[in-house]
Structure 1
Amino acid sequence: MEAMQERLINYFSRIMPLTDAEAAAIRDSMCIKPFPKGTVLLREGQVSTECYFVLAGCVRQYYLVDGEEKTTNFFTENQWVVSVNSFANQAPANHYFACCEDSQLVVGTEQKENDLYERFPRLETISRLVMGTVFGELQEQLATYLTDTPEQRYQKLLKARPDLFQRIPQYQLASYIGVTPESLSRIRKRITTPAAPVTHSPAEKAARG
């Protein structure tokens, strides 16, 4: 458990060095819970009262559109799981969060945050920097859906997060990229199949000298 705690401490320390008192306060307030695979952390229509930091495992964000799940994000180790609008504005969520794997998550609440900020105002600055990172990642992700082809999104995901291809079912990856599972199979085949070598006939070779 101590090793798990240090992951969050190290995450904050990379953003801004913590004093011993700040680190101790975060450890004391930290609530780490196990969530089995399949656990739904947030449902459409619920108001989010918790945010999460992934210590181990994977959480999927998805929408229900005409009864079909549309995956929009995967959160793995050292990432925050926050329904930003619902948590900040106490508005009903329009999406779901569900665990794709058995997961260990730090569970945070607004009350816990405010208690820490009152005792250590500098932690609020760190929190704003964290939210800036979260917003930046969301903005970058949205840009890929607006500007990239499905094949480009696949290649970017393969480069940035190759572990997902071993952890996530193909139909969920296909939904995330924005294609059918069959189209994803064709994309994977095109990318993994080496191009045939160019050959020339004897006449062409002679002409080339």
Structure 2
Amino acid sequence: MLDKLITEINTIASFSKEDTNLFIESLEENTILKGEHFLKEGQISNRFGYLSSGLMMYYKIIDGNEIPSDFALEQDWVVSLKSFTTGAASDMNIKALEDTRVFTLSSSKMEVLLTIQPKFMALRSYYTELSFIRISRQTYNLTTLDAKQRYYKFMTDYPELIKRVPQYHIAAYLGIKPQSLSRIRK
């Protein structure tokens, strides 16, 4: 169930069995049903979650429309990094597009882990850097690629999302109208 997570964190920093157990024991298991929110705009992000199954979408409401900024699949982490780091209200929403099983770690439990074993800071740094890279990649794609190139890049980078995310969300994520996406797909 969490075997992939344990393997992943041990490739980032070699943790002892005790440290790994401490980390796993700090997680809480939750189920978020399709359409329910992990985080709503205006809330403070005081936890982050590891998806063991399911799919989530980061988005903002602009002119009454949900505009996705990212998606999270199995083995991804979800958090409003800006809110989690600063303690300010989140400027985005995160909701489940499918029934999702998520293991959460609260900010207070993270602080305890960092106090007990400073090596856990390596995890925090690693996942923060991954988040920055994903955001940078999406910004680059939106500013330098045309609609057709963005769609082909999306298909290459996230082939599993093509089948799981509604086309109107994919179109909004790519910064194009659904009709344009239909033409590109033909």
Q: Is the 8 A contact 1:11 1:78 kept in 2?
A: no
1:53 aligns to what? 50
- In 1, the alpha carbon distance for the partners of 2:111 and 2:88 equals 19
Q: Distance in 2 between matches of 1:11 and 1:167?
A: 25
Partner of 1:153: 150
State the partner residue of 2:171: 174
Q: How far does residue 96 in structure 1 lie from its aligned partner after superposition?
A: 0.8
Pairing partner for 1:105 from 95, 98, 102: 102
Cα distance in 2 for residues equivalent to 1:74 and 1:159 = 15
In 2, the alpha carbon distance for the partners of 1:26 and 1:5 equals 11
Query: Are the aligned partners of 1:44 and 1:95 in contact in 2 as well (CA < 8 Å)?
Result: yes
Write the distance in 2 (CA, Å) between the matches of 1:73 and 1:98. 11
SS at structure 2 position matched to 1:92: coil
- Relative to the length of structure 2, the TM-score reads 0.95
Q: 2:88 aligns with which of 88, 91, 95?
A: 91
RMSD of the TM alignment (CA)?
1.2
Percent identical residues = 30
Residue aligning to 2:65: 68
Alpha-carbon separation, structure 1, partners of 2:162 and 2:104: 27
Which of 1 and 2 has higher RCO (CA within 8 Å, sep 6+)?
2
Counterpart in the other structure of 1:7: 4
Q: Give the distance between the partners of 1:78 and 1:100, measured in 2 at CA.
A: 15
- After TM superposition, the runs of 4+ consecutive aligned structure 1 residues lying more than 3 A away are none
Q: Distance in 2 between the 1:7 and 1:34 partners? A: 19
Unaligned runs of 5+ in 2: none
Paired residues, number: 186
Distance 1:67 1:78 in 2: 31
Q: Does residue 1:42 correspond to 2:39, yes or no?
A: yes
Return the alpha-carbon distance in structure 1 between the equivalents of residues 185 and 107 of structure 2.
43
Q: Distance in 1 between matches of 2:27 and 2:60?
A: 30
The answer to whether the aligner puts 1:33 opposite 2:30 as a matched pair is: yes
Q: Does structure 1 conserve the Cα–Cα contact (< 8 Å) formed by 2:67 and 2:172? A: yes
Q: Which amino acid aligns with 2:34?
A: K
5+ residue gaps, structure 1: 190-209
The answer as to whether partners of 2:56 and 2:72 remain within 8 angstroms in 1 is: yes
